[in-house]
Chain A
Amino acid sequence: AQSVTQLDSQVPVFEEAPVELRCNYSSSVSVYLFWYVQYPNQGLQLLLKYLSGSTLVKGINGFEAEFNKSQTSFHLRKPSVHISDTAEYFCAVSDFKAGKSTFGDGTTLTVKP
């Protein structure tokens, strides 16, 4: 079984400030890790993913995430946010073999001018 916990349901931040969205996971098997973004009235789109190799992963729109195996975390960061980054962000894990994905409950990022 696997689970995902997004530690903050809402994160308000001012424009050009840095932001970190936290994600912890648990799984009895090896997993792949993903961050998806959902803009208002749109479907989820992939922001970045960790499959293997370097634990620091860079994605679209200036986002990056760091995989920490010992802490079972995959936090998402951006050094300077824009108004357009306002959206819902979902962390997800997918197990190696069965391909079954589990999503967190999401973090609403609101960027204020």
Chain B
Amino acid sequence: EAGVVQSPRYKIIEKKQPVAFWCNPISGHNTLYWYRQNLGQGPELLIRYENEEAVDDSQLPKDRFSAERLKGVDSTLKIQPAELGDSAVYLCASSLSWTGNTEAFFGQGTRLTVV
């Protein structure tokens, strides 16, 4: 079974430029998460989807970040414009359901460097 697939693996951009990350979750997983992991810290939730609906986006900086999950499968996370402080690893994860006892499966992440 294929795992969570993210692309690109690495991205270097200049500040003020836009950037987008793509995630393909495990087939059949209704719940999809985007996390940001700063250097030396644990993942922090940015947004959670149940199918195509964003049910928890309280930590998403909506002035510059946006996300979508069309048709409840693939998802994209966009930053426009990027700032130096956005340098981090962006992780996508998926699970069968949103309940707290469900294991999340993580992709390898996209390492973003803003220069």
**A: which residues have CB within 8 A of B?**
4, 9, 31-32, 34, 36, 41-46, 49, 51, 90, 92, 94-101, 103-106
Contact = CB atoms under 8 A, between A and B. Distances in A.
A48 B4 CA distance: 19
A99 B98 contact: yes
B53 interface: no
A43 B102 contact: no
Interface string B82-115: 0000000001010001111111111111000000
Smallest CB-CB A-B distances: 4 pairs? A103-B42, A43-B106, A94-B100, A44-B106
A103 B44 contact: yes
A4 B31 CA distance: 23
Nearest to B111: A41
A43 B103 contact: no
A94 B95 CA distance: 13
Given A97-B100, A100-B56, A43 B42 contact: no
Contacts of B93: 43-44
Interface residues of B, number: 26
B43 interface: yes
Interface string B48-64: 10000000100000000
Contacts of A90: 42-43
Nearest to B104: A101
Nearest to A98: B100
B107 A31 contact: no
Contact of B101 (A44, A51, A92): A51
Given A49-B103, A101-B104, A44 B98 contact: no
B104 to A, nearest CB: 7
B106 A45 contact: yes
A4 B101 contact: no
11 contacts: A32-B100, A43-B109, A44-B93, A44-B106, A49-B101, A90-B43, A94-B101, A95-B100, A99-B48, A101-B45, A105-B40
